[in-house]
Amino acid sequence: MKQESKQYKYTGALVLGMHDALVELTGIIAGLTFTIASNRLIIMTGAIAAAAASLSMAAANYQAQRAEENPYALRAAMYTGLMYVATSATLLFPFAVVPNRFWALAMMGILAALIIFAFNCVIGFTQRRPFMRRFLEMLGICFLVSAASFAIGMAAKHLMGVNI
């Protein structure tokens, strides 16, 4: 295992939790927003998905870190899970305060872009590397997954005749 400075030891774990929550949960919420008319149901479903996914990500990162014989595997896994939960809570927040689910979705998209931008700024600044390319890459991935989930949600709604 490559030697890392103490300052950056858990950066990978944080990125894993944050990025997976951004990509996965924005996609899930985008799909739900166009399928479910109730913000409360969107929040409930998103929170359940986020809780399960955060535990899954933490467990997977723990196993990966153990396979690399990282003595701090448990701590890295906890950072991954906690970052996933924090990011998820931020993404779900607009649905708790904005009554119109489509405006809440737009606000969630703005928050997701701000999270991606801020995180890449911090990493770029602390590692003295340009960050704009990484920011645009993460933003593009997040957008594409959300768009695909939107399409799946719309198809499911029409094909199954579900209207919640």
Q: What is the mean pLDDT of residues 79-94?
A: 95
Query: What's the whole-number mean pLDDT along residues 125-144?
Result: 84
Rg (CA), the chain: 17
Give pLDDT tens digits for 7-32. Answer: 457 778 888 888 889 888 888 898 88
Number of domains present in the structure of the chain: 1
For residue 118, count CB atoms less than 10 angstroms from its CB and return exposed for 0-12, middle for 13-18, buried for 19 or more.
exposed
pLDDT category of residue 1 using cuts at 50, 70 and 90: very low
- Cα gap 158→152, rounded to integer Å: 10
Q: Assess if residue 72 is contained within a domain.
A: yes
| Domain annotation covers residue 164 | no
Residue 84 located in a structural domain = yes
> Residue 1: inside a domain, yes or no?
no
Kindly state whether residue 82 falls inside one of the protein's structural domains. yes
pLDDT at 3 over 80: no
Predicted TM-score (pTM) of this structure: 0.82
Answer whether residue 51 is part of any domain: yes
Q: At what angle do helices 11-33 and 73-97 cross, to 10 degrees?
A: 30
Res 58: pLDDT: 93
The answer to whether position 67 is within a domain reads yes
Percentage above 90 pLDDT, the chain: 45
Position 20 scores a pLDDT of 86
**Cα–Cα distance measured from residue 128 to residue 162, given in angstroms and rounded to the nearest whole number:** 50
DSSP state, residue 59: H
Q: 102 falls in which pLDDT band (50, 70, 90)?
A: very high
Q: Is residue 6 part of a domain?
A: no
Counting residues of the chain whose pLDDT is more than 70, the rounded percentage is 93
Torsion from C-alpha of 44, 45, 48, 49, nearest 10 degrees: -150
For range 1-8, the mean pLDDT? 50
Residues of the domain holding 107:
11-158
* In the block, residue with structure tokens 């003595």: 71
